[in-house]
Each structure stands twice: as C-alpha cells, then as structure tokens.
A = this chain, B = another copy of it.
Amino acid sequence: VRNVLFLRKYVLLLFGCSSLVLVFIMLQNTEKELCDNQHIVTKNAALSSDKLAELKQKWLNELKKSPSLNGPDEPPRSDALPSVSSLECLINDQQTVQCLKAAGTDGQVYMPFDFIQNYFEVYGKMKHYDGYDRFEFQQSYAKVIYNPKVPYSYTGVFMTFDSYNVEARDRVKCISGITGVPLSTQWHIQGYYYGIQIAQFGMSHYSKELVQRPPTKQVYENAEDSIQGQWKPSNKDCIVDIAKDTETQSNVIKFSTPVSIPLGSGAALILGNTIEHILSFDLKMITNGSLSVVLETNDKLKQYTIHYITSNIVIDFDHKSNIYYGLGASRHWRHIARDLLTDLKKGIGLTDTRQAKKVRINILKVARLTVRGSGFIDNITLSTSEHLSQFHDASQWIYLNQDEETGGWKNEVERRLEGYKPIPAGWISAMGQGQGMSVLSRAYHVFQNPKYIVALSQAMLPFTKFPHEGGVRAVFMDKYTWYEEYPTEPASFVLNGFMYSLIGLYDFKALLEDNYELVTRLYDDGMTSLKAMLPLYDGGSRTFYDLRHFMVQMPPNIARWDYHTTHISQLVLLYSVTKDPVFKKYIDSWTGYLNGKVAKHN
C-alpha cells in the first residue's frame, strides 16, 4: 500500500475542532447556482438507507419532544359538520374570489388558501398523521439557520455547508474527471469552472467529513497479500500483474491491454457491491486507455457503464447506456475518487441547456470495473464517502487557478445584473476571494503546506483595488468600505457576498493569529461597514439582497427566503466570534420575519 494521501489522524484532529450544526431535512443553498425548485432533499449519496432511516427516527423523536411541534394526542373530536354558504369576496376592488361564510348572524368569513398562497406568497401543506390530517401553514420555506454549539472556527464546519450537496445542483454540469471539481452552467451553457461553486463544493465536503460518521469502505485491490482482487482478462493480450512501484515504494497492479480493444473490455475486476458508491483508486497511465464501471440500477433493472477515459472530454452520454468522462492525459500517479451515483445522474441528465434534467435513479449494484490500455492501479476501494479527497481536489483547483497577477479567481463569463451594464468576463468577486480563502485556510490546516499561506496572502490583493483597477473594493457614500460580490459600477453592495468575503478574511486573520496587519485592517474596515449598513438591508418584513434600489433607482431587490436565511446564518457566524450585540439584534428580528413577525408601523 502506498502512503494514503489523507491520513485518518487528520480526520480525528478535525473532529476535535469541529462545531456542530443543526441540520434539518432540507438542502440549503446560496448564490444563484440554485434554481428555486430545489428545496427538496436529494438523496445524499454518502448516506446509506439505514443511516437515513436512523436519522429520520432521530428527527421524529426530536419533533415529538418539541411541544410546539407536537401533533394533538388524539384526533380533534368530530363535531357536527359546519354549515356554510358561498360568499363572493372582492379583492382590492379588482378581482373576486369565492369564499365561505359560516351560518349565523356574525358568521366568520373563510378565504380559500389558494388565494391566500398566491396573494401573500406563503406556504401551506396538508400533512397526514395517524388518523387525522392537519394543514401546516408557513410564512417562508426556509428555516435552517446556522446554530453552532461552539464559536465558528476556520478549522471547523463552514456555516450550514455540511447540508449542501453542490454536485446535485441542476446548474452543475458534472464533476470533471480531470480536476475532480464541478463545472457550472449557471451563466453559460457550456460548462465552466466557477470558483465560488468549487469553493462551496470543497467546503461542503470538508464540513461533511467533520459531522458525518466515518464512511464504510471495501478495499478490492491493494496489491498486497492481504487483499488481492480477482481479475478477469477478456483475452490473452490483457495482462494483470503485481509490480513494485519505485516512486511510492509500494506494491501496485500493473495492467496492460491493447488500446484498440472496444471501450469497456480489457481486464475486469468483479466488485459486486450493493452498499458503497464512491469509487476511489490511485492511477498512473502509461498509454491512453480507460477505466469502465458497470452499474446495475433500478431503472428497469438496466445496466449503465461509466467510462473514464484518458481524454479531455468533459462528459458525454450515448442516450443508451454509456456515459463518458475524460480523465485528461496525465501520466503521473493520481488519486481519483468518483461519486458513481452523481456521475450516473449527470450523465443520464445531460442536456443542451443550462439546467440538467432531474434524474431519479438508484444504483443497486456496482458490478465490476474494467481497465483498458497500460498503466498502474492501486487501492481500488468502494466507500460511502471520500470527503477529504473531494476537499483536496477543490483546494487544488483553487490553489492552481489563482491568477498570479491579481491574486484573484477570475470568472470567465460575462455577468449581467438588472439595472447595470454587463460585467465583461474576467471579473473577480469578493465572495469568490472570501470563499477561496476559507478553503485555503482549511487546506493549510489539513495539509500543512505553506503554499496555501502564500495563496491566501495573494487573495487579499483584489480587496485593495476598485473595480476599474480589477478589484472588488467599493465605498458607500464615500464612507463605508465594502467588498463587492459583483464588481459593478456603480457598486451594487450585495450583502451575502460581502459577508462571505468577511468570513474569508476572518479565517485568514484567525489562522495568522492577527499577525498580519493587512488582513486585520481589511476585516476591521469591512466589519465597521457591515455593522453600520445592516439597517439598509432591513425591509421590515424581509431583507434586501443588495442596495441596487439606492444605487440605480429600482424597486428593492428582495432577497428570496434562502438568501434571507443565509443572511441570518452569516450573522450568527459573525456573532459567534464577535459577540457584538448589533448582530444579535438583526439575528432576532430577521429570524422573526421567517415566522411572519414584521416591524411595527407608526
């Protein structure tokens, strides 16, 4: 066995520092990457059905304990059927709605929920309990607030990102086989790398590593005596052998097949795993070749094959049963970890639009793996998660794709914001810088490589420059320093992006224990502005996403409920490390808005 890249001891260490997060049955999302209809939980590939059942039971128990959430002990007594008559209702002199009126002189008027839902944009759902139904009304759809038991730390969970499933988002084209990180289709149909998404992908896996139970693992081949796989070459030209790798001083599998044989043929290793879906292995190719995985699914018991090929294609699907991912042309040892369910779904769901098709499919069995071409392979494993491996891929992408000159993660797509002229491709986002810094701080913490500190230092450069200089800095009314998620001119003052940038600065500042004046100053200036300007985002019943209304005279851009909860979670994070009562004030009143509490009128 080669020294595995991610040592268990790190994981234990991370557990020690982790802050715990309240997770509810919900997928919380930030940034435009998510479309609105994605607020249902998607199957978390890293959780077994047993674990899900266990979690569900736990939540149910918690629900039962909470008095406010308690259903009545017995069905409400069945009164005589109420007597009502139809009643016309005129709404604001404009439309009519059929209502009901209870019998009697001062009979109550009842309005249909369909109308209420549309008119007030509230939510309601009939819930079925043992023996009775209850209608559950909600002011808002999103109530997951970050609720750490210990103050936030750059070594711990990032906000509620442990509940994120970035790869499942329909604006994620797929996880690249070359880089191991997501490709976005949010603002461009062809996939492109979007730094913020990659950072969030990395931090969600980092956070999951901290809060989830250790994965279960099946090692199928490590070329040592302990575990040796049963290889079945498809013909005599396919040779599989154990060899000593001089680079890693470890026994590895050496394989060699003609490259000309059909994709999917070669030397096969039977896996037959019905539980774990994350495939990982170490690979070093000598020639071109491929690695194909056959999956049995619940889709009419159909088999699909995912081919990982030494090419630069991103993803393809033959619209029958073959899905293709490029692994690039690397001739060096690489650790590769693939979430087979994600790869399967992204393949089947592939479209020509910016939005992937929703796919409902499950893997019943990871049947076998076949190698083609010549190379070395080792440590072939199926597990329930490989979070640190995925975090490493994200960190690496972030490290390698920082622009040397500007220190920024450039976004190579044009960005259009209503009310502003388009921002040409190549812009830098303060949110991207902040999220990148949060990843790099954690990467340094786990991998202890000083290169991450250098990258962190460079990442601050755009904070010192204005958009016309390629930076992200803005000043509100010549007074308050701000860091712009979108470097518009005039500024747009997007609140959540600004707070993410402050959290990134905080992470680096904490990592350096306040020994670097620039990061401390950038953070302090930003916090001063935040505290002063929070009221400008308070609409009295909702929050504003930005200050566009003031900057370019539009109606206020109301934050949808998941941005609203992001605002609150970010304030919770900042409050946990500052204890500044300003934050507490807004946490309380903005949380009230989720339940329909509104500011007083005079």
In the complex, which residues of chain B have a beta carbon less than 8 angstroms from the beta carbon of A550? Answer: 535-536
A4 in contact (CB, < 8 A): no
A85 closest partner in B (C-beta): B81
Q: Given the known A-B contacts A88-B72, A120-B120, A137-B91, are A536 and B539 also in contact in the complex, defined by CB atoms under 8 Å?
A: no
CB proximity to B under 8 Å, residues A537-563? 538-542, 544-545, 549-550, 553-560, 563
Give bound CA distance, A556 to B69, whole Å.
Answer: 31
Chain A 54-97 per-residue mask, 1 if CB under 8 angstroms from chain B, else 0: 00000000000000110010001001011111111111111001
Inter-chain contact B68/A602, CB cutoff 8 Å: no
- Is A216 interfacial (CB 8 A cutoff)? no
CA distance A411 to B363 in the complex (A): 79
Top 4 closest pairs, chain A to chain B, by CB: A110-B110, A558-B601, A477-B477, A555-B599
Closest B residue, CB atoms, query A533: B550
Tell me the complex Cα distance, A112–B108, Å.
6
19 CB-based A-B contacts, threshold 8 Å: A82-B84, A89-B134, A89-B137, A92-B595, A100-B110, A108-B112, A110-B110, A110-B111, A111-B113, A111-B116, A538-B555, A538-B556, A540-B556, A540-B558, A553-B582, A555-B589, A557-B602, A558-B598, A558-B599
Q: A135 is contacted by which of B109, B542, B558 (Cβ under 8 Å)?
A: B109
Roughly how many angstroms separate A89 CA and B116 CA in the complex, as a whole number? Answer: 14
- A138-B596 in contact (CB<8A): no
Best-buried of A76, A83, A86, A137 by chain B (most CB within 10 Å) = A137
| Interface pair A108/B116, CB less than 8 Å apart | no
A469 within 8 A of B: no
Give the chain B neighbours of A479 by CB distance below 8 A: 477-478
Is A514 among interface residues, defined by CB-CB distance under 8 A? Answer: no
Contact B99 A108 (CB under 8 A): no
- What is the CB-to-nearest-CB distance from A340 to chain B, in angstroms, rounded to a whole number? 35
CB closest residue in chain B, given A563 = B602
- In the bound complex, what is the Cα–Cα distance between A477 and B533 (angstroms)? 12
What chain B residues lie within 8 Å of A600 (beta carbons)? 555, 557-558
Q: Are B559 and A601 in contact (CB under 8 A)?
A: yes
CB of A375 to closest CB in B, whole Å? 48
Residue A124 is within 8 A (CB to CB) of chain B in the complex: yes
Q: Given A76-B86, A113-B110, is A535 in contact with B549 using a C-beta cutoff of 8 Å?
A: yes
Q: Is A225 an interface residue (CB 8 A)?
A: no
* Interface pair B582/A90, CB less than 8 Å apart: no
Instruction: Tell me the complex Cα distance, A94–B126, Å.
Output: 16
Contact string against B for A residues 111-151, beta-carbon threshold 8 Å, 1 for contact and 0 otherwise: 11110100110001010000011111111000000000000
Chain B CB within 10 A, most for which of A93, A477, A544, A545: A93
Docked-complex contact A94 and B68, CB < 8 angstroms: yes
A550 closest partner in B (C-beta): B535
Residue of B nearest to A103 (CB): B81
Contact with B along A466-487 (1 / 0, CB 8 A): 0000000000011100000000
> Which chain B residue shows the least CB distance to A582?
B553
Contact B478 A559, beta carbon cutoff 8 Å: no
Copy number of this protein in the oligomer? 2
Residue numbers in B under 8 Å from A51 (CB-CB): none
Q: Does A585 contact B (CB under 8 A)?
A: yes
Shortest CB distance A582–B (Å):
7
Contact between B601 and A560, CB atoms less than 8 A apart: yes
Quick check: B535 and A90 within 8 Å, CB to CB?
Answer: no
Q: Which residues of B contact A91 (CB under 8 A)?
A: 137, 596
A509 to B459, CA, bound (A): 56
In chain B, what residue has the closest Cβ to A542? B540
Instruction: List 19 additional A-B contacts (Cβ < 8 Å) besides A100-B110, A536-B536, A558-B598.
Output: A68-B94, A72-B88, A81-B85, A84-B100, A89-B124, A89-B136, A92-B594, A99-B135, A109-B124, A109-B126, A110-B111, A111-B116, A477-B477, A535-B549, A535-B556, A538-B549, A539-B539, A540-B558, A555-B589
Chain B residues, Cβ within 8 Å of A558? 540, 598-602
Query: For the complex, what is the distance from the CA of A81 to the CA of B84, rounded to whole Å?
Result: 7
CB distance from A338 to the nearest CB of B (A): 34
What residues of chain B lie closer than 8 Å to A135, measured between beta carbons?
87-90, 99, 101, 109
Q: Is the CB of B539 within 8 A of A88?
A: no
Quick one: which of A114, A560, A599 has the most chain B CB within 10 A? A599
Q: Chain B contacts of A81 at CB under 8 A?
A: 83-85
With a 10 A CB-CB cut-off, give which of A90, A91, A544 has the most chain B CB atoms. Answer: A90
Q: Which of A487-543 contact B (CB under 8 A)?
A: 534-536, 538-542
Residue on B with the closest CB to A124?
A: B109
Q: A100-B110, A111-B116, A138-B92 are in contact. Are A602 and B559 (CB under 8 A)?
A: yes
Chain B residues with CB under 8 Å of A563's CB are 602
B-chain residues with CB within 8 Å of residue A101 when the two chains form the complex: 133, 135
Q: How far is the CB of A316 from chain B (nearest CB, A)?
A: 34
CB-defined contacts of A100 to chain B, threshold 8 Å: 82, 84, 100, 110
- List residues 575-602 of chain A with CB under 8 A from any CB of chain B: 582, 585, 589, 594-596, 598-602
A114→B108 contact, CB < 8 A? yes
Question: Is B124 in contact with A94, judged by CB distance below 8 angstroms?
Answer: no
Residues of B within 8 A of A540 (CB): 539, 542, 544, 555-556, 558
Per-position contact with B for A373-401: 1 when CB-CB < 8 Å, else 0? 00000000000000000000000000000
Instruction: Give the complex CA separation of A556 and B134 in angstroms.
Output: 35
